[in-house]
Amino acid sequence: MKKQLSKRDIDELNQQIESQFGRASFFGKKDNVMLIEKNSVKLIVKDQPLFFYVNDLLVPTLKFLLTDNFLKKVTVDMGAVKFVANGADVMRPGITMFDEGIRKNECVVVVDETHNKPLAVAQALFSAEEMREKDSGKVLKTVHFVGDKIWLI
């Protein structure tokens, strides 16, 4: 299913992006923005897939973040890279750094400590303050990773 987004749809999408990510006016009213449903995945496409939906949560694609990373970052050690790149959730011991101000349920990008390259997009299960206090356990739920069905679209 493909649906061309109207000017009103684009306004609503921009409002959702601003409220969720703090960035205004991602898309102009004259942009050719489409909603494509493929293999039960809802994608927002403008030349390439930029966002997709997980339930009602709007999530940027990793390919988009490679060119324009606007999410807060969580850095993992090189021992965690293989697991995160294969879709594993992120455990606290594998984290070496994270940006301040991460809120619970916020989307963050997970990067490796050597090259600072995006490996996954995850949903924070705790705020930055709560993560700092933890020394074990799962702290990020991976929603998109290199090689998953979104990556391959």
pLDDT the model gives residue 108: 97
> What pLDDT is stored for residue 28 in this prediction?
87
The pLDDT of residue 1: 84
What kind of architecture, by CATH, is found in domain 66-145? Roll (2.30)
Q: Own/partner pairs for 33-41, CB < 8 Å, 24+ apart? A: 33/4, 33/5, 33/9, 34/2, 34/3, 34/4, 34/5, 35/2, 35/3, 35/5, 35/9, 36/1, 36/2, 36/3, 37/1, 38/153, 39/149, 41/149, 41/150, 41/153
| pLDDT recorded at residue 86 | 94
Per-residue pLDDT of the chain in tens (153 residues, 90 and over written 9): 889 999 999 999 999 999 998 887 789 878 899 999 877 788 998 988 999 998 888 999 999 999 889 999 999 999 999 999 999 999 999 999 999 999 999 999 999 999 999 999 999 999 999 999 999 999 999 999 998 988 887
pLDDT at residue number 114: 94
Domains of the chain: which residue ranges? 2-60, 66-145
Give me the pLDDT at residue 84, please.
96
Residue 122 is predicted with a pLDDT of 97
